[in-house]
Structure 1
């Protein structure tokens, strides 16, 4: 029996990954957390397929032992702004495959530095595997493959309320507002202000036309690397209800920079926002919408290929993205030694296969 270790498995995202794996594989799943009380509840409710291990990532020896006893490690213990690559390094040293739900360029950059070591160890390490980044990146690859030459990628993300996620995801949002970032525009790197240049995008129902803003995501730089012909990559994000967008804009552009770069400020804003979404979730739901638009040349003409996805629960959609990669690794259908963002590691036929198995429908259209 294959053994999977999910670090941070008691968070909303980690729990969704565990649920997906329990549904689609026979793997023995061990989830970790720092509270033994939670572990008792997990053991009672899982029917034996999911076990609980009390573990703090700072317990290096205990972490190393848990990794050595696993066939696959899934890192869900965010926010990844603060994370080092110790888990990934340990997996490479132990020869254990690795998947994560990382969503910040600082961590992605550090992880990609271990490409050669992972390849030499025969370890497949796939990063950025949730919903965005994750499923969204594979939607882009699917679009790129429709063209003779792709030129532009425009990704738009929309989350209702909390998205069914915990405070950690709120932290990720506010941490993403701290600094300007580089984006690949017109064939060169240009500095962009976070939560700027609002743009109205047509999402699938029930969302319709909604505002999105520039947001710093790892795919801003992994996609140009994966698809060298592309001259522009745009990543924009928005919230439902729309007043959250205006509040986030104020946070990004009006609050003093020194204040936004204090950890205590991020904690305060994250907890207040999570409290607010607990109220609005009742009216908006906790769903997610992703829209990918790829522009390129096909048969000598310029065209746009659009891919749209809607899911009623953002955290569950993220679990599907990560769980599907894990399933393919466990089944031996995906093997690519090295460290890769998901768009470089996952072939489109396998992406379509796992999405179909999970009942996730991606709608396509040409403009």
Structure 2
């Protein structure tokens, strides 16, 4: 005699449990954009966190969270399917969120944007593999979408030789104080760049170069800037040179940033108080100029090398009228793939090592982000 399953059991089988996502720093501009993208493209239950509940005005579930409280962090992460870390700047983050996720067996992605964080947490790679945890770093717009644009180009060559990656942002880019702090944190210290097959010390905001971006940007000045791609691309791809340069619109922001990097006393820019001062002043300035400049972003990825024994140049460009929304799309897309089970690769990876070009193309098209390619 067969037994008919109960209605409750049938309904449970038909409708699997809702996935749960925790976005740490989800009340900031980038974190909120990530939350919106995940909500728009998945059925996941999204919870956002902040240290300051008084600042919360969001349609998402909210949880007050101080990352310094280990017990509170463990409790927040428990029962989640995915944790998205958006609480920068990442220059001084110690990796405790990722470590906690690995211990709990929960997948993790972040919007980290400095090589020091990658170097700090890659030591947990074996633990992540053993725990079956997929951890993808450097998602967003740059790094993030830019990484996959380069990977797509690299795959067109028999022997890729040089990556030249440039970014330009209008005003604040629609981002908040955290992004401003990140910019000034990266101005004073030399960094290693992979040039002609060896690591060479490079000064940020030097070697201004005029790059032709798509309209409405046109020719714009960009400068050396320490990005995680400068470091991870040398490991991900067999190339001789990796160049990463950044610039702002209007151009006088570039000149002000150059002065800050090279004229002001180092103590002014290196101290926490100095960083906070410059970040807040810049943020107030961009609140005014954003109305005229816009808050968009452009990326230009040029790869040179050999194809069938002949020199070849590949160039991919992308523009978006809101940098924060583009960053949210880049991270939200990775979250969507993990939640759907399409991206499962235990270990810790920069985005270009984890995301295939096929999946990248699918998710970018689903978000109406256009990438233009020329040879």
Instruction: State the TM-score, normalized to the length of structure 2.
Output: 0.94
For residue 124 of structure 2, what is the aligned residue in structure 1?
114
State how 1:298-317 maps to structure 2 within 5 Å: 298-317=307-326
> Does residue 1:272 correspond to 2:281, yes or no?
yes
Q: Distance in 2 between matches of 1:159 and 1:111?
A: 28
Q: Distance in 2 between matches of 1:164 and 1:135?
A: 17
Write out per-residue CA displacement over residues 8-28 of structure 1, whole angstroms, 9 at most, x where no aligned residue. 000000000000000000000
User: Shift of residue 236 of structure 1?
Assistant: 0.1
User: Shift of residue 176 of structure 1?
Assistant: 0.5
> Does residue 1:2 correspond to 2:12, yes or no?
no
Q: Distance in 2 between matches of 1:163 and 1:56?
A: 27
User: Shift of residue 258 of structure 1?
Assistant: 2.6
User: Shift of residue 82 of structure 1?
Assistant: 1.8
State how 1:291-302 maps to structure 2 within 5 Å: 291-302=300-311
Write out per-residue CA displacement over residues 293-337 of structure 1, whole angstroms, 9 at most, x where no aligned residue. 011111111111000000000010000000000000000000110
> Does residue 1:215 correspond to 2:232, yes or no?
no
Q: Distance in 1 between matches of 2:133 and 2:164?
A: 32
Q: Distance in 2 between matches of 1:312 and 1:35?
A: 30
For residue 15 of structure 1, what is the aligned residue in structure 2?
32
Could you list the structure 1 runs, at least 4 aligned residues long, displaced by more than 4 angstroms after superposition. none
For residue 84 of structure 1, what is the aligned residue in structure 2?
94
> Does residue 1:69 correspond to 2:79, yes or no?
yes
State how 1:279-298 maps to structure 2 within 5 Å: 279-298=288-307
Of 237, 251, 267, the match for 2:260: 251
Q: Distance in 1 between matches of 2:146 and 2:89?
A: 19
Write out per-residue CA displacement over residues 197-216 of structure 1, whole angstroms, 9 at most, x where no aligned residue. 00000101100010000000
Write out per-residue CA displacement over residues 130-164 of structure 1, whole angstroms, 9 at most, x where no aligned residue. 10000000000000001111110000000000000
Of 233, 242, 253, the match for 2:251: 242
For residue 25 of structure 1, what is the aligned residue in structure 2?
42
Q: Distance in 1 between matches of 2:362 and 2:289?
A: 35
Answer yes or no: is the 8 Å Cα contact 2:30–2:325 preserved in 1.
yes
Q: Distance in 2 between matches of 1:189 and 1:133?
A: 20
Q: Distance in 2 between matches of 1:352 and 1:311?
A: 16
Write out per-residue CA displacement over residues 105-135 of structure 1, whole angstroms, 9 at most, x where no aligned residue. 1111112221111011100000000100000
> Does residue 1:184 correspond to 2:201, yes or no?
no
Q: Distance in 1 between matches of 2:202 and 2:330?
A: 28
For residue 193 of structure 1, what is the aligned residue in structure 2?
203
Q: Distance in 1 between matches of 2:361 and 2:44?
A: 22
- Match of 1:113, SS state, is helix
For residue 96 of structure 1, what is the aligned residue in structure 2?
106
User: Shift of residue 62 of structure 1?
Assistant: 1.3
Answer yes or no: is the 8 Å Cα contact 2:267–2:274 preserved in 1.
no
Q: Distance in 2 between matches of 1:65 and 1:24?
A: 27
How many residues align? The count is: 358
Q: Distance in 2 between matches of 1:113 and 1:163?
A: 33
User: Shift of residue 38 of structure 1?
Assistant: 3.9
For residue 353 of structure 1, what is the aligned residue in structure 2?
362
For residue 329 of structure 2, what is the aligned residue in structure 1?
320
Q: Of the two, which has the highest radius of gyration?
A: 2
Write out per-residue CA displacement over residues 37-75 of structure 1, whole angstroms, 9 at most, x where no aligned residue. 344x32xxx2xxx21111111121111011112000000
- Match of 1:290, SS state, is strand
**RMSD, aligned α-carbons:** 0.8
User: Shift of residue 35 of structure 1?
Assistant: 2.5
User: Shift of residue 36 of structure 1?
Assistant: 2.6
Q: Distance in 2 between matches of 1:33 and 1:260?
A: 27
- Match of 2:141, SS state, is coil
Of 332, 340, 359, the match for 2:341: 332
